[in-house]
Amino acid sequence: METIFHNLLLGLGVAIQPINIMWVTLGGVLGTIIGMLPGIGPASGVALLLPLTFTMGPVGALITMAGVYYGAMFGGSRASILINTPGDGASIASCWDGYPLATTLKRPEAALAISAIASFIGGMIATVFMIFLAQPLARFAIKFGPAQYLMLYFFALSATASMSGQGKVLKGFLSMCIGLMAATVGIDALSGVQRYTFGLMNLQGGIDFLITIIGIYALGEVFESLGDIGKGKTKVQTKFGRIWITMKDWKRSWPAILRSTPLGFLIGVLPGTGATMAAIMAYNQEKNISKHKDEFGKGAIEGLAAPEAANNAASVGALIPMMTLGIPGSGTTAVMLGALLMLGLQPGPLLFEKSPEIAWGVIASMIIGNCILAVINIPMAGILVRILAVPERILYPLILGLAFIGTYSISQSTLDFVILTIFGLLGLFMKRAGIPTSPMVLGAIVGGAIEEKFRQALMISNGSYGIFLGDPITIVLALLTAGSILLPILQRAMKKAKGAKAAAA
Amino acid sequence: MVLNFNVIADLAFLLLGLAYGLGALALPEANFGDPMAPKVYPLIISGLMCVLSVVLLASEIKKQKAGTAEKAVQFKIGNEGKLVAFVSVACVLYAFLFNILGYVIATFLFVEAIMVFISKGKKLLSPTLWALGFAVGIYLLFGKVLAITLPPMPFLDI
């Protein structure tokens, strides 16, 4: 207990430095804007803003990127509420009651206010959970060797692939394979053999996974949206009364917020399940236990509060495996991990031992960041949503421009522009074929580490594969991996059995 | 068999998996340690990928027999196809002209061309202003503030 307070004070000392307050504000505002814009989510947002973090140093970079992540959770709902188009995946559930509340019931002020309040409370409580959970988890993971890490990577990957959605499990794994393939291009670090470089000098260093990410997310999303430009654009309301809620709204919302926060946090911590699933599950949970079920979908204020609290809590939870274990459990945290590795910082258990001021500085900055975001998103919401009025024919070309300058800042090579375009087209193709893209991105980022740990473990064991099931930790992780693969299959089988029973009866 | 997006994707990924696996077999052997070491991991991925695409293809064919599959892909280039093709070509040209014309001119042309194409040439003034502002703004922000070396304008040393 004492050490937690000691660490938190250490972190606060870092977080309240004016420069870091500036970074968290910048990250939060940019994140809110990115979250608002339909088409770019937090993962592409972090990737696009990456060049900005080069000069900040690791602490500033991590603080800014975390700010972008949870800022996007605040911003995403603005578009859901006002134009019924989620700004990012995690705010889909916010459309269901947010939009009717703002339009049919003509209470956009209450909708904007409750979503920011719920986001704030969800984020704050989740940060407190994180404060208590981070250190023990990091301590536990510090004993992990290559075999344990490999099994942990397997679990993260298989969970992400199998959580891809109904009937998409195989496609999720296919997507993962593509990512793993992309990671093998270049000189093999352990033997010096060139693999899949086709004699090109530029490929010897491998395909930078940041380029994979920018290509798949940013370009892929722009390509996918090109056909929809000018279709059914709703006019954005930009004039509001006082953005606040009534006592009655609050009484209906607070239990929903308090129930959804732990749920969202837990889902966020688990690999594979992100803020999107957290928000949808929280919404369904509220709907199931509500006394006025009939109001859901027609502007029930708790139906907006629940997913908003949950997605913010999930975004905080998702940072835990990334920071304490060095394992990303979602697209956005994968991008953050990649960015940190490039800045020369290895997140993981050693981060808490060797540089507690960075680890705790970031955690403490999240408390400050949440307060700043609440201020930005409640009184200033009217100004910010004007961004939604920028037409797509202007917006998308600018996103492309940002993607290219981001790529150039990473590698200073225009060959990467071509690779970027190819990945953009691949992203479009995969979306059209219904293949999820997150497992691929995750695979591209951890692929190199997986192979390295795989071969290191085999060297330790003199080539015996028994090492991968050699101790309780690897066995538990292997069981979890198998479970994550079997769960969707079992669910389907049970559904079928149920259906057969119903048909027989 | 109806050639829909699922079939095309499964076949494409099956081919990719096979090609990748053959590529792995053709890799040179390591000079030290286990000579096969660099090949094992790519071969595992290749195998997994081939199995997955064959299973997906089989289940798609089953679906088609049951009559629940998606419709065949129309090989007709619609509005979206044109936009994607134009933007992709613009991206490659941008890569080509980037170092020749310098950041500001190349970026201005790239952004302007896409904006004008999307609005079908109906709007000229606002795209031009946005493109110009973007090219110059990013050049100043990245080139001067963030100190990332960007190709300067030809003949003019700015």
Give the closest of A226, A393, A421 to B92, CB-based: A421
What radius of gyration, in Å, describes the C-alpha atoms of chain B? Answer: 24
**Chain B environment of A418 (Cβ under 8 Å):** 91-92, 95
pLDDT over 90 (residue B68): no
pLDDT band at A337 (very low <50, low <70, confident <90, very high): confident
How many CB pairs lie under 8 A apart between chains A and B?
Answer: 165
**Coil, helix or strand for A223?**
helix
Q: How far, in whole angstroms, is CA A431 from its chain's centroid?
A: 18
Q: Name which of A171, A226, A396, A423 to mutate to probe chain B: the one with the most chain B Cβ atoms within 10 A of its Cβ.
A: A226
pLDDT at site A233: 59
Q: pLDDT per residue over A281-303, tens digit each?
A: 899 999 998 888 889 999 999 99
Lowest mean pLDDT among A51-55, A267-271, A391-395, B105-109: A51-55
pLDDT at site B111: 95
Give the closest of A229, A402, A421 to B88, CB-based: A421
pLDDT band at A118 (very low <50, low <70, confident <90, very high): very high
| ipTM for the complex shown | 0.90
Q: How far, in whole angstroms, is CA A82 from its chain's centroid?
A: 23
Question: CB–CB of A184 and B45 under 8 A?
Answer: yes
Please count the CA atoms within 13 angstroms of the CA of A430 that sit on its side-chain side: 30
CA pseudo-torsion sign A341, A343, A349, A354: positive
What is the reported pTM?
Answer: 0.84
The values of phi and psi at residue A195, to 5°, are -125, 130
pLDDT band at B75 (very low <50, low <70, confident <90, very high): low
Share of residues in chain B with pLDDT > 90 (%): 47
Q: pLDDT per residue over A398-409, tens digit each?
A: 989 989 998 898
Question: Quick one: average pLDDT of B52-56?
Answer: 93
Question: CB–CB of A181 and B95 under 8 A?
Answer: no
pLDDT over 60 (residue B158): no
Question: CB–CB of B30 and A184 under 8 A?
Answer: no
Q: pLDDT per residue over B98-108, tens digit each?
A: 999 999 999 99
The chain A residue lying nearest B133, using CA atoms, is A398
> A462 CB near a chain B CB, below 8 Å?
no
Q: pLDDT per residue over B128-154, tens digit each?
A: 999 999 999 999 988 888 778 888 877
CA pseudo-torsion sign A217, A219, A223, A229: positive
Question: CB–CB of B56 and A171 under 8 A?
Answer: yes
Chain A nearest C-alpha distance from B66 (Å): 17
A50, A339 Cβ separation under 8 angstroms: yes
CA nearest to A301, candidates A74, A125, A105, A92: A105
Question: Burial of A242 by CB count in 10 Å (0-12 exposed, 13-18 middle, 19+ buried)?
Answer: exposed
The chain B residue lying nearest A454, using CA atoms, is B41
What radius of gyration, in Å, describes the C-alpha atoms of chain A? Answer: 22
Give the closest of A177, A219, A429 to B45, CB-based: A177
Give the closest of B78, B92, B115 to A394, CB-based: B115
Q: How many CB atoms lie within 10 A of CB A233?
A: 13
A95 residue type, one letter:
C
Question: CB–CB of B13 and A51 under 8 A?
Answer: no
Question: Quick one: average pLDDT of A466-492?
Answer: 86
Lowest mean pLDDT among A363-367, A398-402, B20-24, B73-77: B73-77
CA pseudo-torsion sign A266, A269, A270, A275: positive
Question: CB–CB of A191 and B84 under 8 A?
Answer: no
Tell me the two tokens of residue A123: 């984020």
**Chain A environment of B143 (Cβ under 8 Å):** none
Question: Residue with structure tokens 């990456």?
Answer: A50
Question: CB–CB of B9 and A394 under 8 A?
Answer: no
**Chain A environment of B31 (Cβ under 8 Å):** 191-192
More confident residue, A354 or B2: A354
Q: Please name the residues between 48 and 107 in chain A that touch chain B, using a CB distance below 8 Å.
A: 51-52, 54-55
Q: How far apart are CA A249 and CA A253, in angstroms?
A: 6
Mean pLDDT for chain A overall: 87
CA angle B125, A33, A299 (to 5 degrees): 110
Q: pLDDT per residue over A137-174, tens digit each?
A: 888 888 888 899 889 888 888 888 887 766 688 898 99
